[in-house]
Amino acid sequence: MNETEFLERLDRIRDIPTLPSIVLELNRLLQDPDTPVARVSQIIERDQAIALKILKLVNSAFYGVRSKVADIRSAVIMLGFNAVRNAIVSVSVIETFSRRLRLEGFDATDFWKHSLAVAVTAKALSARTRLNSPDNCFVGGLLHDVGKVILAQYYPELFAAVWSASREEGSAFHEAERGRTPAGHAAIGAHLAARWQLPRGLVEAIRSHHDYRAELENAEFCLMIHVANLLVNSYDRNPDCVIDLAALHPDARKFILGTLQRAGDFYAELAEEIENAYAFFLSPGAAR
């Protein structure tokens, strides 16, 4: 089976998670910048559960908005359409996937912790460089590895084979995927994001997070997701965050040298925000 056949077969799995229909509706409305705020807030308010979560999120320590946001309309005015859509994608995506999923080598909580750490790091990189909107980067980081959940949930044998091979070879998960699965987690995640009708730039960033190329259409955005993942992974290996620069794509090397004095210090400063993100998104009942 080749990658295309594998992804087509994935499309036929009926219970593959979908995002709430609100996300699709907002995607459509967002394409027209003249959409009135009232229309957007009406749509969100129709789904009380989501409306509540959005208010909880924007009022959480994690968002850092000082004055209390009392209603959806104010949230939309304060944050803008795009940020609100991103907030909805963030809260729904973690909920959509089973947090209880447990396989050897896959623990859903650890998985989302990694994803949230990459999300916060990507957001901070974009705030520092102003190369893209911080909340686009947050969602990109949050979703970059989502293909792994699909692999673990729907193809547990494939997942287990890749995981044990990566352990035995001491290689990264995406390296161990080669030759063992028809489509890697990056391709699977991109396929899913496209199916959810998320923006094309986001789909490409997911697809290229282990395979950054300068000729990508939205290379700067993809680079930030790629580098954020590198930083989190190297921090997990050692807290000084020592990165083997020679092994990186020249753009990633240039980006890191130009943006960060010391990667370890940069990452350490994010610790509190990462903890806030865990508390908001992962503590039982937090985002619900």
Torsion of CA 261, 262, 265, 271, to 10 degrees: 100
**Which residues from 216-255 bind Fe ion, rule CB under 5 A?**
229
- Judged by CB, which is closer to Fe ion: 135, or 145? 145
- Shortest Cβ 209–Fe ion spacing (Å): 6
CA dist 161 and 174 (Å) reads: 12
CA dist 283 and 116 (Å) reads: 13
**Which residues from 39-58 bind Fe ion, rule CB under 5 A?**
none
Per-residue x/- mask for Fe ion, residues 119 to 158, rule CB under 5 A? --------------------------x-------------
Angle of CA points 239, 244, 246, to nearest 5°: 165
- Judged by CB, which is closer to Fe ion: 24, or 282? 282
Contact status, residue 63 vs residue 277, Cβ threshold 8 Å:
no
Q: DSSP for 233-286? A: HHHHH-TT----GGGS-HHHHHHHHHH-S-HHHHHHHTHHHHHHHHHHHHSTTS
Handedness of CA 13, 19, 21, 23 (dihedral sign): negative
Query: What is the total count of residues that contact Fe ion (CB under 5 A)?
Result: 2
**Which residues from 176-205 bind Fe ion, rule CB under 5 A?**
none
- Judged by CB, which is closer to Fe ion: 92, or 229? 229
Q: Whose structure tokens read 């494939």? A: 158
- Shortest Cβ 229–Fe ion spacing (Å): 4
Contact status, residue 159 vs residue 103, Cβ threshold 8 Å:
yes
- Judged by CB, which is closer to Fe ion: 63, or 112? 112
Is residue 166 involved in binding Fe ion (CB under 5 A)? no
| DSSP-derived 3-state class of residue 106 | strand
- Shortest Cβ 185–Fe ion spacing (Å): 6
- Shortest Cβ 13–Fe ion spacing (Å): 21
- Judged by CB, which is closer to Fe ion: 49, or 239? 239
**Which residues from 65-124 bind Fe ion, rule CB under 5 A?**
none
| DSSP-derived 3-state class of residue 214 | coil
- Judged by CB, which is closer to Fe ion: 41, or 229? 229
Nearest Cα neighbor of 125 from 238, 234, 223, 235 is 223
- Judged by CB, which is closer to Fe ion: 53, or 174? 174
- Shortest Cβ 144–Fe ion spacing (Å): 6
Binding site for Fe ion (CB under 5 A): 145, 229
